[in-house]
């Protein structure tokens, strides 16, 4: 009879250990999901900021030189028009404006990431409490 009770005790002990490990694995999977979501959000924010910065710079600086060259090659039969070049001062001002706007976007990005980190730490504290 003692062997049956010791077997039953051992079985109950193994079942408790199994449940303990199962809960630990479920917690780790939940943490991985949360981290993946956080990384995805950060990647989207960074990507959006880079695209916005690129578009701002492109608008302020003007057309690409390769686009102008291909346009000139296609229109060889037309009489040449005088090329208007912007002064160095105007070009410098446009570049400074673009840099200023990119710096603002960068600061906003860092603020958003910091807010996400604060929210994640609060959620982590709430789940562990």
Q: What is the per-residue pLDDT across 36-91, written as a single tens digit (0 to 9) for each?
A: 878 888 888 888 888 888 888 888 777 655 555 555 555 556 666 677 777 888 88
- Give dist(CA 17, CA 48) in Å, integer: 47
Contact 24, 106 (CB under 8 A): no
Predicted confidence band at 1 (pLDDT cuts at 50, 70, 90)?
Answer: low
CA triple 18-23-24, angle to 5 deg: 95
Contact 109, 49 (CB under 8 A): yes
Residue 5 has pLDDT above 60, yes or no: yes
Q: What pLDDT, on the 0 to 100 scale, is given for residue 55?
A: 83
- CA 63, 68, 69, 74 torsion-angle sign: positive
| Whole-prediction pTM | 0.37
Token readout for 76 is: 């060889």
Domain containing 77: what range?
A: 2-128
Residues 6 or more apart whose CB falls under 8 angstroms from that of 53 comprise 98, 101, 102, 105
Mean pLDDT to the nearest integer, 93-102: 86
Contact 57, 98 (CB under 8 A): yes
Q: What pLDDT, on the 0 to 100 scale, is given for residue 94?
A: 85
Q: How many distinct structural domains can be found in the chain?
A: 1
């Amino acid at each position: 009879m003692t062997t049956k009770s010791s077997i039953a005790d051992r079985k109950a002990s193994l079942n408790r250990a199994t449940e303990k490990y199962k809960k630990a694995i479920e917690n780790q999977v939940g943490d991985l999901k949360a981290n993946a979501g956080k990384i995805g959000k950060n990647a989207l924010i960074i990507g959006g900021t880079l695209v916005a910065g690129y578009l701002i710079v492109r608008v302020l600086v003007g057309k690409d030189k390769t686009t102008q060259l291909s346009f000139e090659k296609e229109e060889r039969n037309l009489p040449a028009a005088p090329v208007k070049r912007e002064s160095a001062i105007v070009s410098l001002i446009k570049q400074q404006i673009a840099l200023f706007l990119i710096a603002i976007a960068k600061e906003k990005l860092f603020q958003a990431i910091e807010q996400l980190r604060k929210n994640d730490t609060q959620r982590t504290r709430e789940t562990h409490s």
